Chains A and B, each alone.
Chain A
Amino acid sequence: MMNFNWNIQKTLLTPQRSFQLTLEYASSCQSVAIFGPSGAGKTTLIKMIAGLVTPDTGFINIGDRIFFDEIQQINLKPQQRNLAYFFQAYSLFPHLTVQQNIFFSLRRGIFNPTKHQFSKEVEGLLERFELSNLAHQYPHELSGGQQQRVALARALITKPKLLLLDEPFSMLDYQLRQRLRDEIKNIQQQINCLLLIISHDPEDIDFFADDVLFLEDGKLKN
């Protein structure tokens, strides 16, 4: 079975230029890495998979699910895709503490988790990512590397079927980077999810990826 299978076109229009993405890929690998120069369309690709950007034409199939199919007129909302997306800019909710940020997706309805809402899962992740002593801090009080770990924990708590990581370790020192790679790999194996990672770091690619894609000028190359 193809785990990753897409064939999409997307034209990005900015006042300065028009940029054409033509992306085709099919693979049965569990983990795929994408690298390439900045501005090549990596983040746009991952946003199309997450459902935050709609392709012009084509299809996106992940695992046994159709995320997007222009002909069948299928376009799942981001909420329906059961994936976790680690944003390059973290996008931690600034009005919530570390613990509330991680708890966020476990709480349904129109209220945020309270400051002292307790959960074994959250506690476990706080420990795994060395965030226990920061649980009640706000994102603006954290360093870049700490924010990055919170964003990872927040993404992983949903037990996604697909994990999208956009430059996940860029702000971490060498040792922490290695430790977190192990943690993520462990979690990935535990919850048995697919992984798509954007990275500039060859070590990330070696560590995670069964297959590597090179994205340049809006085109994918193996």
Chain B
Amino acid sequence: MMNFSWDALFLSLKVAGCSVFLNLFIAVPIGFLLARKKFIGREFLDTILTLPMVMPPTVLGYYLLVLLGRHGWVGQVLQKYFDINLIFTWQGAVIAATIVTFPLVFKPTRTAFETVNPCYEQAASVLGISDLSIFFRIILPLAWRGIFAGLLLSFARALGEFGATLMVAGSIPGKTETLSIAIYEAVQEGNDHAANIAVIILSIVCIFVLVIAKKLTGHKIFY
């Protein structure tokens, strides 16, 4: 265990955790809007937002680099007004992981909200319950399984994120070197022992997360 980089594991968990947190507040509301609001271009927007799922992560990473880099327009604004530089930082890795995993959250969220039958909301509204309360008392309890499963999947995917993260955050040991990047580096250096341990740990975590996600989605009790 001497060679194993605990820093890399904790960094991976931190980056994955933060990306899940961000997606909870970005992908989940967007999934809700797409499920419930009818507007022109809805399906087109859905397609665009699904792109990160099919695009190679390196391509995404390159876009991010262009956008967030010193000469990118987002990067320039962040640098000029907030003195923030995201390239080669762990926060940059979070952005990369969030975008790569975005469709994994927003797709199941949309489906989960769409499968809640509107008749329950109608029944509750006639009973005098406000729209906000209906959301928390009817819609969310009936949809949370799908949302939670999506968030878990995105966590597992973010743990394994490699291409986009490497492009945006690089591989600085102890700073931006996540576990999946550390595995690559270890193999490159011929350090098989470290690679083996990291691979096993990452595999166990991913299997664990998938089993929970499966349990939640496969378990359609009655609705």
Question: 0/1 per residue, A13-42, Cβ < 8 Å to B?
Answer: 000000000000000000000000000000
A-B contact count (CB 8 A): 68
Interface size class of B (residues with CB under 8 A): 20 to 34
Tell me the minimal C-beta distance from B48 to chain A in angstroms: 27
Judged by a CB distance under 8 angstroms, whether A197 is at the interface is no
On chain B, the residues within 8 Å of A81 by CB distance are 126
8 closest pairs, A vs B, by CB?
A: A105-B127, A110-B136, A140-B222, A91-B123, A94-B223, A78-B125, A91-B119, A85-B126
Interfacial chain A residues near B141, Cβ < 8 Å: 95, 112
B149 smallest CB distance to A (angstroms): 17
Q: Is the CB of A83 within 8 A of B222?
A: no
Q: Is the CB of A158 within 8 A of B133?
A: no
B interface residues with partner A (beta carbon < 8 Å): 117, 119-120, 122-130, 132-133, 136-138, 141-142, 222-223
Shortest Cβ distance from A157 into B: residue: B127
Q: What are the residues of chain A within 8 A of B119 when measuring CB–CB?
A: 87, 89, 91
- Tell me whether A10 is interfacial, beta carbon within 8 Å: no
Complex Cα–Cα for A188 and B32 (A): 40
Question: A174 on the interface (CB 8 Å rule)?
Answer: no
Q: Among the listed A82, A87, A110, A111, which residue makes an inter-chain contact with B123, where contact means beta carbons less than 8 Å apart?
A: A87
A91-B120 contact given A110-B137, A111-B136, A112-B137, CB 8 Å threshold? yes
Does A109 sit within 8 A of B, measured CB to CB? yes
Give CA–CA (A79, B127) in the complex, Å. Answer: 7
Q: B176 → chain A, closest Cβ, in Å? A: 40
Are A79 and B128 interface neighbours, CB within 8 A? yes
Residue of A nearest to B144 (CB): A95
The answer, yes or no, to whether A84 is at the interface (CB within 8 Å) is yes
Interface of B, secondary structure class, is helix
Residues in chain A within 8 A of chain B (CB atoms):
50-52, 77-79, 81-85, 87, 89, 91-95, 104-105, 108-112, 138-140, 154-155, 158
With A111-B137, A112-B137 known to touch, is A79 a contact of B222 (CB < 8 Å)?
no
Given contacts A94-B142, A111-B136, A140-B222, contact A78 B130 (CB under 8 A): no
Nearest CB of chain B from residue A162's CB, rounded to whole Å: 11
In the complex, chain A residues whose CB is within 8 Å of the CB of B123: 85, 87, 91-93
A109 touching B126, Cβ below 8 Å: no
15 A-B pairs within 8 Å (CB atoms) are namely A52-B125, A77-B125, A78-B126, A79-B129, A87-B119, A87-B123, A94-B142, A94-B223, A95-B142, A105-B128, A105-B129, A110-B137, A140-B222, A154-B127, A158-B128
* B residues near A83, Cβ cutoff 8 Å: 126
> Which B residues lie within 8 Å of A154 (CB)?
127
Q: Which of B117, B129, B141 has the most CB of A within 10 A?
A: B129
Are A84 and B142 interface neighbours, CB within 8 A?
A: no
Which chain B residues border A158 with CB–CB below 8 Å?
127-128
**Cβ distance A127 to chain B, nearest Cβ, rounded Å:** 21
Asked whether, in the complex, the Cβ of A79 is within 8 Å of the Cβ of B125, the reply is yes
Bound CA span A25–B142, Å? 40
Query: Once the chains are docked, how many angstroms separate the CA of A73 from the CA of B102?
Result: 42
A49 to chain B, nearest CB (A): 10
Beyond A112-B141, A138-B222, whether A91 also contacts B128 by CB under 8 A is: no
Closest beta carbon of chain A to B1's beta carbon, Å: 45
Q: Is there an interface contact between A93 and B138, defined as CB atoms closer than 8 Å?
A: yes
B223: chain A residues within 8 A (beta carbon): 94-95, 140
Write the nearest CB–CB distance from B199 to chain A, whole angstroms: 41
CA A43 to CA B137, docked complex, whole Å: 26
Beta-carbon contact of B122 and A79 below 8 Å: no
Interface centre among A77, A85, A94, A108 (most CB of B within 10 A): A94
Q: How far is the CB of A203 from chain B (nearest CB, A)?
A: 27
Contact of A52 among B122, B127, B133 (CB under 8 A): B122
